[in-house]
Structures are given as structure tokens and as C-alpha cells.
Amino acid sequence: MSDSMVRRWVRQFNEGRSEVHDEERSGHPSLITEELVHAIDEKIKENRTFTISALAMEFPQISRSLMHEIVTDKLKFHNLCARWVPKNAY
């Protein structure tokens, strides 16, 4: 921990700050929204033999890597014999 950070904290507590946790930051907005996840889920239900590339062409606003993250991490699908199935299906 740097000396400047300690000095900053001391100054903030002397000015009346009482909370030791950092304040919420806005950060950058997430590209993954519930509406987008739902729309992708509906497309998958229409055709379970999709490819990530073909699905990414349906949603040009997001990249293939982000599409893969949504399909595998958010929707919990994985590829089984050229067909995407939910992880709890087998």
C-alpha cells in the first residue's frame, strides 16, 4: 500500500467519512443485457444445431467471443455431437 493512498484515506476520514468500503463506481456498461440473453435463448430454441458464427451474424452488435460467453456461461449450453444442449440435459 502506498503512502499517498494512506494519506488520502486519512484526509477523507478527517473530513467526516465513516465508511471503510469503497463507493460504488459506475464503470462501463455491460453489453450483456437480460433482453439480449433472452433473444439469444429464443434463437437457440428455434435451431439447436446452430454455430456460434451463424448466431453472431444474427446479432451483429456483439462479437463472436461475447456470443460464446453468453451461450456457455449465461445460458449454460455446451456442444454435444454438433448439437447445443443445456448442461443439465444429460
Q: How far apart are CA 67 and CA 32, in angstroms?
A: 9
Query: In this structure, how many other beta carbons lie within 10 angstroms of the beta carbon of residue 51?
Result: 13
Helices and strands in the chain, H and E counts? 4, 2
pLDDT in tens, 25-52: 666 667 888 999 999 999 999 988 888 8
Q: How far apart are CA 19 and CA 12, in angstroms?
A: 10
pTM value is 0.60
pLDDT in tens, 47-88: 888 888 889 899 999 899 999 999 999 999 887 666 677 777
Flag whether pLDDT at 90 surpasses 60: no
Closest CA to 56 of 66, 45, 46: 66
DSSP conformation class of 88 = G
Flag whether pLDDT at 11 surpasses 70: yes
